[in-house]
């Protein structure tokens, strides 16, 4: 077992890759009551075209299948895994993103049993025709719930405007009609392809003993057999460099209009490696549009933004995009102001002072985030799957130069790669 | 966990709890007054906005943000809420501890606390009054906050239920006041609200983090003379059902109906029955093993979410589910039947034990976060019942099946609120 000590952060992390390829990370935090554990596969909603394990032909599966699979893993012959966790006073949940599916629990007692249950239920698929049909009704209501959520529709509307071919443009849960096409055989096919231990990471954080936990996980895995698995072939589609639609509008039952301006990455030829690029993008968005920026103050004073105004940068396997905006009484005025701000930053030099204060702020925010066990486990896993290290955030941030920021600014914010998405009152 | 040290600074109570769990220090300043009819809530809500918009030393939102940046991106914010018939203004601040920062040796908590108190006592003024431009901007911001509540359908439906249910009670008042009340506020109203706050409200400051109390007392003592309020007692009236299950149906353009049921329970967190209500509500709908989730979602596939929540200061229970338009009667029937089952003692030993374990786990997890822990400490003050974490856990353990039946029998359906679509979907 590898021991990684992070002096400045006061954290010690234990790591081991098991014989079957599963990566296990344990972060003891003796001061806490709670243990949080998350078991993640590197498989999400965008992985809808692939070569199934031990087959030759590429298949295309219905939209929303990764999310459907997530729901169905909670059920086995004996019933619902929710019950097993509940009987030990543990909370459990799961989520599906574009590129990952994660299963988790938190508890303050019975931790060893809960870790075993977490691994076992994820590694034991059980799908029947009846249980698939039952889930369709529940997921239909989940989809309807999101259809009434204007911020959700705004965000996904932006992605669908930016991307033409990539499956990132499809809702993670699929549509009410696409989920009707899902069968139990398709679920098994996806499961066999993407839930091999070598495609997964287990993270445990809490008042635990690292040796004891690792032994438990090793013994559990030694009792199971998995077929050898090679690289997974995934097909993402040929996404053009330019945005699909320059602008799109959705009319909904809302009081206040909403708008987002977004830019997509034209290719994956990044000038900095993953974590550094992401940090540089976050810094740029913060400098131009954060609450201490000149633009923010002006827009707030003019009354064209409120506290919902925010920026976001998403970068995952095969895609990356920014999103800037929020609720506004005047979407056009806000878009104009956002574009002008970006244009003026692209024309002038960034200042050392601006960069220094932004770094300071980001380091502080990172410390706040590290209070949360959920944040550490979820984000560490995400970075690990992108070959990065969460605990390198501070040094990577400190190493960024004005030249780096300048390069990222000029590369990312290109008009041809941008779209505007509006949600307007009916 | 370390003991809480409580002392007075002028009329303010300070509660300090050292903790090694966190990399940051968290401050929560609670300001309590009675919830009142008329425009009192509106004027206090606007005051809270204005107090965050500038101080003598940092006279704009942007100047404040820049100062916070220099404190490593310290968070600072405010919130307005109600618990029972009491109105709260809450200031919140969080700052990293310097031992986790390479280039910092001065205690950041001092600067943070000194800023926090200045926001309260030294708002930016012009000609002896609040600055007109700030008041106008913040009025606009508050009005848009109120207006935007309607865009979150679940939140809107819950707010409308409370409004309908408690229309003749003080609790029916929204903590922000209404749009029109805010619109009509004058500079004098704001002055009056500020003066009343300083002379009448009850102040409790909670601090938790890795530092020492000695770093904070000098900053607080400088402000001693300013905390001169005479705290007034507040009380909440706990009523039985006044509406006897009245149905209120509202139509909007929607994809999913939001069904909200409001119940009365004659016990609050001040009562000995508090733990029993938590258990009864737990069996009813607070968890994934609860009757609502199992029967509405798992058995009938009617909803994605189906849950209940207890308001422990007024004695209300809210049950909610997102359903198809045509399922209103069926879902209402199933939901009310779950409560009837509780009253009839129709729940297993397993449901009772599991619920107790889940609640105990929830309490232990809650105290792992600074905000969660502070919420429990403040509840002790508001209810006048000093419950340690251990006592909370043993109170739950002591709840019997008979207790649950007895308390459930006292729960009455008050109002059924449905937010549904404009027409039936085929």
SS3 A351: coil
Which secondary-structure segment (H or E) carries B155? helix B153-165
Judged by a CB distance cut-off of 8 A, whether residue B136 touches chain A is no
Q: What is the mean pLDDT of residues B385-408?
A: 97
Tell if the CB–CB gap between B304 and A368 is shorter than 8 Å: no
Q: How far is B25 from chain A (nearest CA, A)?
A: 9
Residue A383 within a domain: yes
Within 8 A by CB and 6+ apart from A59, the residues are A49, A50, A51, A52, A189
| Cβ-contact B225, B394 below 8 angstroms | no
State how far the Cα of A119 lies from the Cα of B372, in Å rounded to an integer: 29
Whether residue B233 is predicted with pLDDT greater than 80 in this model: the reply is no
Q: Which residues in chain A (346-385) have CB-CB distances under 8 A to chain B? A: 357-358, 360-365, 367-368, 370-373
Strand partners, B250: B419
Residues A202 and A263 in one domain: no
pLDDT digits 0-9 by tens, A83-114: 999 999 999 999 999 999 999 999 999 999 99
Q: How far is A140 from chain B (nearest CA, A)?
A: 8
Residues A279 and A399 in one domain: yes
Say how many C-beta atoms besides its own lie within 10 A of residue A36's C-beta: 26
Residue of A371, A375, A377 to mutate, testing the B interface (most B Cβ within 10 Å of its Cβ): A371
* CA proximity to B32, closest of B224, B204, B172, B177: B204
Whether residue B426 is predicted with pLDDT greater than 50 in this model: the reply is no
Q: How far is B242 from chain A (nearest CA, A)?
A: 31
Residues B79 and B213 in one domain: yes
pLDDT tier for residue B423 given thresholds of 50, 70 and 90: low
Report the CATH number that the domain containing residue B352 is assigned in CATH: 3.30.830.10
Output the average pLDDT for chain A: 95
Residues B135 and B211 in one domain: yes
Domain that includes residue B299, residue range: 246-420
DSSP output for B370-418: HHHHHHHHHHHHHHT----HHHHHHHHHT--HHHHHHHHHT-EEEEEEE
Whether residue A410 is predicted with pLDDT greater than 90 in this model: the reply is yes
State how far the Cα of A146 lies from the Cα of A252, in Å rounded to an integer: 13
Whether residue B104 is predicted with pLDDT greater than 90 in this model: the reply is no
Whether residue A387 is predicted with pLDDT greater than 70 in this model: the reply is yes
Q: How far is B113 from chain A (nearest CA, A)?
A: 17
State how far the Cα of B208 lies from the Cα of B335, in Å rounded to an integer: 41
pLDDT tier for residue A400 given thresholds of 50, 70 and 90: very high
pLDDT tier for residue B228 given thresholds of 50, 70 and 90: confident
Residues of A within 8 A of B94 (CB-CB) are: 368
Residue B231 within a domain: no
Please report, rounded to a whole number, the percentage of residues in chain B having pLDDT higher than 90. 84
Give the end of a domain, one of B226, B258, B289: B226
Residues A16 and A123 in one domain: yes
Residues of A within 8 A of B102 (CB-CB) are: 8
Residues A188 and A321 in one domain: no
Query: For the ranges A245-259, B125-139, B215-229, which has the lowest average pLDDT?
Result: B215-229
Residue A319 within a domain: yes
Give the end of a domain, one of A177, A205, A222: A222
Residues A35 and A176 in one domain: yes
Residue A307 within a domain: yes
DSSP output for A284-316: HHHHHHSTTSHHHHHHHHHTS--TT-EEEEEEE
Q: What is the mean pLDDT of residues B222-246?
A: 84
ipTM of the complex, rounded to two decimals = 0.91
Residues A391 and A349 in one domain: yes
Tell if the CB–CB gap between B65 and A291 is shorter than 8 Å: yes
Residues A48 and A196 in one domain: yes
pLDDT digits 0-9 by tens, B125-182: 999 999 999 999 999 999 999 999 999 999 999 999 999 999 999 999 999 999 999 9
Residues B153 and B277 in one domain: no
Residues B111 and B77 in one domain: yes
State how far the Cα of B11 lies from the Cα of A184, in Å rounded to an integer: 66
Active site residue A70: yes
Residues A177 and A275 in one domain: no
Residue of B148, B363, B420 to mutate, testing the A interface (most A Cβ within 10 Å of its Cβ): B148
Domains of chain B: total: 2
> What's the token pair of residue B49?
């906005």
Please report, rounded to a whole number, the percentage of residues in chain A having pLDDT higher than 90. 90
State how far the Cα of A154 lies from the Cα of A249, in Å rounded to an integer: 9
Residue A351 within a domain: yes
Residues B164 and B192 in one domain: yes
Tell if the CB–CB gap between A138 and B304 is shorter than 8 Å: yes
Residue found under tokens 């002038």: A348
Q: What is the mean pLDDT of residues B353-359?
A: 96
pLDDT tier for residue B1 given thresholds of 50, 70 and 90: low
Domains of chain A: total: 2
Residues B220 and B250 in one domain: no
Q: Which one of A57, A70, A219, A398 is the catalytic residue?
A: A70
Residues A30 and A151 in one domain: yes
Residue B233 within a domain: no
pLDDT digits 0-9 by tens, B327-352: 999 999 999 999 999 999 999 999 99
Give the end of a domain, one of B161, B195, B226: B226
Residues B252 and B204 in one domain: no
Residue B373 within a domain: yes
Residue A201 within a domain: yes
Which secondary-structure segment (H or E) carries A385? helix A373-385
Q: Which residues in chain A (304-323) have CB-CB distances under 8 A to chain B? A: 306-308
Judged by a CB distance cut-off of 8 A, whether residue B102 touches chain A is yes
Whether residue A229 is predicted with pLDDT greater than 90 in this model: the reply is no
Tell if the CB–CB gap between A148 and B71 is shorter than 8 Å: no
Residues B220 and B252 in one domain: no
Residues B213 and B252 in one domain: no
Instruction: Look at residue A310 in the predicted model and tell me its pLDDT.
Output: 97
Residues B67 and B135 in one domain: yes
Domain that includes residue A118, residue range: 2-222
Residue B425 within a domain: no
pLDDT tier for residue B234 given thresholds of 50, 70 and 90: confident
Q: State in Å, rounded, how far the first CA of chain A is from the last one.
A: 59
Residues A185 and A92 in one domain: yes
pLDDT digits 0-9 by tens, B62-90: 999 999 999 999 999 999 999 999 999 99
Residue A177 within a domain: yes
Q: How far is A321 from chain B (nearest CA, A)?
A: 25
Residue A171 within a domain: yes
Within 8 A by CB and 6+ apart from A91, the residues are A85, A105, A106, A107, B358, B361, B362, B365
Report the CATH number that the domain containing residue A345 is assigned in CATH: 3.30.830.10
User: CB-CB: which of A145, A253, A297 is closest to B253?
Assistant: A253
Half-sphere exposure of A80 (CA within 13 A, CB side): 17
Give the end of a domain, one of B226, B255, B286: B226
Q: Which residues in chain A (321-350) have CB-CB distances under 8 A to chain B? A: 327, 329
* CA proximity to B31, closest of B200, B179, B187: B200
Beta strands, E only, A353-413: none
Residues B190 and B324 in one domain: no
Residues B250 and B339 in one domain: yes
State how far the Cα of B250 lies from the Cα of A85, in Å rounded to an integer: 38
State how far the Cα of B41 lies from the Cα of B176, in Å rounded to an integer: 6
Dihedral, CA atoms, B290, B292, B297, B302, nearest 10 degrees? 180
Judged by a CB distance cut-off of 8 A, whether residue A252 touches chain B is yes
pLDDT digits 0-9 by tens, B254-293: 999 999 999 999 999 999 999 999 999 999 999 999 999 9
pLDDT digits 0-9 by tens, A302-333: 999 999 999 999 999 999 999 999 999 999 99
SS3 annotation, A7-49 = CCCCEEEEEEECCCCCEEEEEECCCCCCEEEEEEECCCCCCCE
Residue B284 within a domain: yes
Tell if the CB–CB gap between B253 and A80 is shorter than 8 Å: no
Judged by a CB distance cut-off of 8 A, whether residue A220 touches chain B is no
Residues A261 and A391 in one domain: yes
Residues A256 and A352 in one domain: yes
């Amino acid at each position: 077992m590898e021991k990684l000590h992070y002096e400045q952060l006061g954290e010690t992390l234990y790591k081991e890759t098991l014989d079957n390829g599963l990566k296990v990370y344990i972060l003891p935090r003796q001061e806490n009551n709670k243990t949080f554990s998350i078991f993640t596969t590197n498989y999400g909603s965008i992985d809808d075209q692939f070569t199934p394990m031990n087959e030759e032909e590429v298949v295309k599966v219905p939209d929303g299948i990764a999310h459907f699979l997530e729901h169905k893993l909670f059920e086995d012959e004996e019933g619902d895994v929710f019950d097993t966790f509940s009987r030990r006073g543990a909370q459990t949940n799961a989520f599906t993103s574009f590129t990952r599916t994660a299963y988790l629990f938190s508890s303050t007692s019975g931790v060893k049993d809960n870790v075993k249950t977490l691994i076992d239920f994820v590694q034991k698929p059980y799908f029947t025709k009846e249980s698939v049909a039952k889930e369709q009704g529940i997921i239909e209501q989940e989809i309807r719930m999101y259809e009434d959520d204007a911020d959700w529709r705004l965000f996904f509307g932006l992605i669908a405007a930016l991307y033409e071919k990539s499956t990132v443009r499809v809702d993670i849960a699929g549509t009410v009609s696409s989920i009707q096409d899902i069968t139990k055989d398709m679920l098994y096919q996806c499961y066999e392809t993407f839930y091999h231990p070598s495609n997964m990471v287990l993270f445990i954080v809490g008042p635990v003993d690292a040796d004891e936990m690792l032994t438990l996980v090793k013994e559990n895995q030694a009792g199971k057999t998995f077929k050898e698995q090679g690289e997974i072939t995934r097909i993402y589609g040929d996404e053009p460099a330019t945005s699909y639609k320059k602008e799109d509008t959705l009319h909904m039952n809302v009081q206040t209009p909403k708008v987002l301006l977004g830019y997509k990455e034209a290719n994956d030829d990044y000038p900095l490696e993953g974590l550094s690029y992401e940090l540089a993008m976050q810094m740029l968005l913060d400098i131009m549009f954060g609450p201490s920026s000149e633009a923010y103050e002006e827009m707030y004073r003019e009354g064209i933004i409120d506290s919902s105004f925010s920026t976001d940068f998403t970068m995952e396997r095969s895609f990356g995009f920014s999103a800037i905006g929020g609720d506004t009484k005047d979407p056009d005025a806000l878009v104009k102001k956002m574009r002008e701000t970006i244009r003026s930053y692209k024309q002038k030099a960034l200042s050392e002072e601006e960069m220094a204060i932004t770094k300071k702020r980001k380091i502080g925010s990172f410390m706040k985030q590290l209070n949360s066990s959920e944040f550490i486990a979820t984000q560490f896993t995400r970075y690990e799957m992108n070959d990065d290290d969460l605990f390198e955030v501070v040094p990577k941030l400190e190493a960024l130069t004005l030249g780096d920021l300048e390069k990222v600014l000029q590369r990312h914010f290109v008009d041809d790669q941008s779209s505007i998405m509006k949600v307007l009152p009916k | 966990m370390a003991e809480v040290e409580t002392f007075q600074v002028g009329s303010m109570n300070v509660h300090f709890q050292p903790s090694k769990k966190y990399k940051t220090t968290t401050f929560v300043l609670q300001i309590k007054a009675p919830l009142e009819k008329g425009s009192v809530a509106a004027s206090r809500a606007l005051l809270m906005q204005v107090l965050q918009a500038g101080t003598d030393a940092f006279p704009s939102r942007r100047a404040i943000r820049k100062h916070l940046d220099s404190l490593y991106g310290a968070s600072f914010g405010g919130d307005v809420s109600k618990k029972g018939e009491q109105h709260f203004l809450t200031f919140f601040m969080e700052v990293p501890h310097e031992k986790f920062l390479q280039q910092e040796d001065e205690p950041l908590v001092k600067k943070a606390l000194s800023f926090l108190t200045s926001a309260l006592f030294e708002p930016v003024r012009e000609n002896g009054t609040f600055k007109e431009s700030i008041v106008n901007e913040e009025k606009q911001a508050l009005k848009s906050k109120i207006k935007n509540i309607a865009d979150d359908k679940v939140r809107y439906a819950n707010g409308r239920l409370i409004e309908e249910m408690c229309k003749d009670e003080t609790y029916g008042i929204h903590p922000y006041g209404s749009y029109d009340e805010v619109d009509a506020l004058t500079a004098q109203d704001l002055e009056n609200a500020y003066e009343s706050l300083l002379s009448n409200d009850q102040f409790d400051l909670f601090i938790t983090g890795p530092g020492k109390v000695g770093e904070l007392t000098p900053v607080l003592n400088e402000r001693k003379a300013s905390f001169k309020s005479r705290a007034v007692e507040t009380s909440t009236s706990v009523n039985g059902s006044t509406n006897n299950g009245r149905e209120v149906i509202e139509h909007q353009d929607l994809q999913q109906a939001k069904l909200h049921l409001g119940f009365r329970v004659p016990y609050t967190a001040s009562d000995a029955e508090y733990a029993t209500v938590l258990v009864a509500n737990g069996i009813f709908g607070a968890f994934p093993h609860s009757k609502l989730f199992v029967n509405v979602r798992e058995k009938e596939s009617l909803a994605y979410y189906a849950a209940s929540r207890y308001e422990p200061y007024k004695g209300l229970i809210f049950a909610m589910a997102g359903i198809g338009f045509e399922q209103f009667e069926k879902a209402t029937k199933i939901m009310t039947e779950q409560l009837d089952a509780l009253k009839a003692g129709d729940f297993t030993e397993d449901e009772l034990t599991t619920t107790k374990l889940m609640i105990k786990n929830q309490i232990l997890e809650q105290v792992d976060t600074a905000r969660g822990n502070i919420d429990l400490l403040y509840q002790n003050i508001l209810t006048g019942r000093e419950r340690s974490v251990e006592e909370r856990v043993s109170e739950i353990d002591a709840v019997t099946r008979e207790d649950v039946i007895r308390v459930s029998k006292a729960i009455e359906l008050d109002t059924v609120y449905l937010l549904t679509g404009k027409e039936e979907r085929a």
